[in-house]
């Protein structure tokens, strides 16, 4: 009775086992990097793989532009849409409110309240200087001392030229005398008109003017002249004008017709408000 193949290896089986052992030893040498050609390939391949990974990472970063390349950020998109919808609703609500205001104001154009306000505006345009005025009045001209006096006098030079306070004093006296309208250098004077010195010129409503300075007022010439002559500051100016070594210019004359054009500048008012 046959008991099966012989358990002891034959010559062919012994040679196969030797080949397996030699192949295993070669693999061990390759992974250990023991200097054989396979070991050198491993040492060269490792940096090459790392370099390739780095290039891929850099390319991804450049293409993303700082954003996420993965398309799964649906939560951020939903939040963005919700915020846009909220802003749209707010703008729509504001547009509805403005439309309602326009309709309400349009309905009031022909109302009694609108007509009353329009009549009030028309009444205030004249005293505000927004309408031209003309009539009899008074003109005063101020000028610096003559050049020969300036070159020869030993007085303080400030006494020989016209200052902003001199012009302001004339204007205040004319208003006090009942002036209905006033011009300086032909420009209509209103409540917001400022007079300011800038070197050897005077700034009037943002425009520089050189002397002589001509101030004209529409009103009763006698009342205007009386108010000017009663002003203490102008009395001192006239006294200086009478001194030969000062001789600042002063001329006052009545006018049968003074023309005061309407003010055409900016009428927007700027003002401060207290905090709190």
Percent of the chain residues topping a pLDDT of 70: 69
Give the ranges where 33-163 is alpha helix by DSSP (H).
Answer: 37-64, 74-107, 112-125, 147-152
Is the pLDDT at 49 greater than 80? The verdict is: no
Is the pLDDT at 65 greater than 90? The verdict is: no
Rounded distance between C-alpha atoms, residue 130 and residue 162, angstroms: 29
Is the pLDDT at 33 greater than 60? The verdict is: no
Query: Can you give the pLDDT at residue 55?
Result: 66
Query: Can you give the pLDDT at residue 52?
Result: 73
Average pLDDT over every residue of 2-26: 49
For the ranges 20-29, 93-102, 109-118, 194-203, which has the lowest average pLDDT?
20-29
Q: Which residue did the predictor score with more confidence, 174 or 130?
A: 174
* Residues 6+ positions from 40 with CB-CB distance below 8 Å: none
Supply the pTM of this predicted model.
Answer: 0.58
Strand-strand pairing, 187-188 and 181-184:
antiparallel
Residue 133 is inside which H or E element, if any? strand 133-143
Query: Can you give the pLDDT at residue 63?
Result: 61
Do 225 and 176 form a contact (C-beta atoms < 8 A)? Answer: no
Residue 8 pLDDT class (50, 70, 90 cuts):
very low
Maximum alpha-carbon separation in the chain? 166
pLDDT tens, position by position, 238-249: 999 999 999 999
Residue 192 pLDDT class (50, 70, 90 cuts):
confident
Structural domains in the chain plus CATH codes = 12-60 (no CATH), 133-260 (3.30.70.1880)
pLDDT tens, position by position, 151-170: 888 888 889 999 999 999 99
Is the pLDDT at 251 greater than 60? The verdict is: yes
């Amino acid at each position: 009775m046959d008991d099966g193949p012989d358990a002891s290896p034959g010559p062919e089986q012994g040679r196969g086992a030797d080949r397996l052992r030699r192949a295993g030893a070669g693999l061990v040498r390759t992974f250990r990097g023991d200097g054989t050609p396979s070991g050198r390939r491993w040492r060269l391949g490792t940096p090459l793989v790392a370099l390739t990974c780095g290039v891929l990472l850099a390319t991804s970063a450049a293409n993303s532009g700082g954003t996420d390349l993965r398309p799964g950020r649906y939560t951020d998109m939903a939040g963005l849409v919700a915020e846009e919808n909220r802003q749209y609703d707010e703008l729509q609500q504001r547009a509805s409110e403005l439309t309602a205001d326009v309709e309400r104001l349009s309905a009031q154009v022909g109302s009694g309240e609108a007509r009353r306000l329009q009549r009030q505006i028309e009444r205030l345009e004249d005293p505000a200087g927004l309408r031209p005025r003309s009539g009899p009045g008074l003109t005063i001209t101020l000028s610096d001392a003559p050049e020969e006096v300036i070159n020869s006098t030993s007085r303080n030079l400030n006494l020989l030229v016209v200052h902003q306070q001199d012009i302001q004093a004339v204007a205040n006296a004319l208003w006090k005398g009942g002036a209905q309208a006033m011009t300086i250098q032909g420009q209509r004077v209103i409540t917001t008109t400022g007079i300011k010195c800038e070197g050897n010129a005077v700034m009037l409503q943002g425009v520089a003017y050189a002397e002589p300075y001509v101030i004209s007022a529409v009103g009763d010439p006698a009342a205007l002249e009386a108010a000017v002559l009663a002003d203490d500051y102008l009395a001192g100016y006239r006294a200086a004008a009478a001194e030969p070594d000062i001789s600042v210019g002063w001329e006052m004359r009545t006018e049968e017709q003074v023309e005061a054009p309407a003010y055409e500048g900016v009428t927007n008012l700027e003002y401060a408000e207290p905090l709190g």
